[in-house]
Structure 1
Amino acid sequence: MNDSTPALLRVNDLHKQYGALEVLKGINLDLKPGQTLSLLGPSGSGKSTCLRCINYLEKPNQGEIWLGDELIGQRQQGGRRRLLSDREMAPQRREIAMVFQLFYLWPHLNVRDNVALGPIKAQHMPRKQAYELADEMLEKVHLRHKAEAFPDHLSGGQQQRVAIARALAQQPKVILFDEPTSALDPELVGEVLSVIRDLAEEGRSMIMVTHEVRFARDVADRVIFMDGGKIIEQGSAAQVIDQPSHERTRSFLGRMLAETA
C-alpha cells in the first residue's frame, strides 16, 4: 500500500455539538484498506464522539463520511440531502462494526448465540450457517471452547473478546474500537490487546480509540492526537508518539507513558 492507494473510509469536515457545546470542530481523516488508525487524546477531546458519528450512532451536525463510494447516513434526493432512517442505515452499519467499552452481550444467550444473532436477524442467514460463522469467529478470538457458556460465567476480558467476535461476524469492511480495554481489570487487558494485534496483522481495517499508548505505537499504522474537538497532529506512530511536534501532544504522551512505565 502506498500514498496513492484510495481511502476505504473518509471523514470530511465533521462537526458535532450538543446544545452550545461543540465537541467536534471540523475533523478530517481517512483510513486506507488494511490500516490500523489510533485516536489518542485526553478524555473529552472528542475521540469517542468521532467514532460514534462515523457509523451514525450520533448524527453529525455537519460533514460527510464516505465508505468507498458510498455516503454514510445521508442520501441525495430532490437536489438536497436527507438523513437516512435507522432502517435505511442498517446495511451501512453492518459495514462499519463497533466494539464498545462495555460488552453489551445478551445475558440470556450463550456465547455462540450472541455471536450468531446478528447474522441471523440482520442478514437472514440460515441458523446452521450462522453457527458455523460464529464458531469460526470465536476461534479467531481464542474462545471456541466457550461457545456454550453464558456471559456471566466469563471474565471481562473473555466477554470483550466475544464482543469482538460478534463484530467480526458482521463481516464488516471497517471495525471501530472505542476504548475496548478501559472497563477491564489490568490483568485482563493483555488478552484483548492480543486479539486486536492479531486482527491488525491479518490486515483488518480498524480505527481504535485507546489510552494504551505503547500498544498504539506497536500496532497502529497511523496515529491521530486530538484535543478540544480538533486534530492537533497526525502521522506515523513513530512520528506522533516518539517525536511529537506539538507541545500539547508531548505533554499528554509524556504523562501517559510515565503512568505506565
Structure 2
Amino acid sequence: MNYRSSELLEKAKYYCNELSKHHILSKYWYELALVLKGSTARGNSDQYSDIDLVFFCDKNILDRIVKDYYDEGLISREDGIFLPLPEWIGHYNLESYDDLIGYFKEKNYPQIWEYTNIIILHDELNRFSGIVEEYNNYVFQDMITDIKEKYLSLQLTLDWLRHPLKRGDELSVILHCSKIIRLICQLSYLIDEKTYPHDKWLFYYLKQTEFGNRNENKIKELGKNIINNSIPLQVDKELDEYSQYVLAESIITDLKNQIQLKYGNEPWLDEWYSFV
C-alpha cells in the first residue's frame, strides 16, 4: 500500500467512526456493513483518488434509511443515497445485500471485482463477508460458457470492422476497434479464471493476466493504430493493407491459441460463424 492510500485509509477509518454517530445511521449501525472500495482499498491511490465508501444492509433497512434521509431534507430523491464527505474528499452510498448477491448470481464481473478488492471497515454481523465467501465460488463455475460468449462477440466485431475500414468511416473504425480491445482485455482475465474490472482499470491491471502480460505491447500498438491522423483512412483496400485489422486479427489468433491450450479445441474457436 502506497503512502497516499495509507493516508486516505486513515481518513476513511475516521469517517467510519463519524458516520457511526450520525443521528440516522446510528439507529441502524449494528445491522449495517461499511466497506471501503476503489484505489484506496487496493493500495494504489494517486493524486486523483478519493475515499469511496459503501454501506450494505437488508432492503427493508435501506428503504427506512432513505426515507429518514428524505424526510429530513438530507437528500432530494427517494431511490437511494449518494452523499459527499466533507470537502469532497470522498463519498458514501447505500446498497442492499440483495444487490451484492445479485452481482455474483448474474456474474457481473466488474462489480464482483470491485467488491472482492475492498477493505471492510464495519461488519459486526459478518453479513458482507459471509455473502462474498458463500457466492464467490459460484462465479467460476462453467467459465467456458462466458469465454465462448465473449470470443464469439470478439470475432463478430472483427468481421464487422472490415466494412467501415473499406468505407473509410473513421468514427465507426474507432468504435469497433475500441470494442475489440475491451473484449480482448476481458477475455484475458476470464481465461485465467479471474473477474475483470470496469473499463477505467481494465488495461491497468492487464499485466496480472498471463495473456495480457505477454501481449500488452501488441494491444497498445492496436490502440495507437486505430486512426493515424497524419494519413487519412483510405477506402476499398485489401484487408491486409489495414494495420488495424491485421493487428486485431493477430491478437485474436493468439487469444484463440491461449483458449485452446487451456480448454481444448472447442468447435466454436475455428467455426465461430456457425455459433453466432
TM-score bin (small chain): under 0.3
Q: Normalising by structure 2, what TM-score?
A: 0.25
Rg: which structure is higher? 2
User: Would you tell me which structure has more strand in proportion to its own residues?
Assistant: 1
User: Would you tell me which structure has more helix in proportion to its own residues?
Assistant: 2
The structure with higher relative contact order (CA 8 Å, sep 6+) is: 1
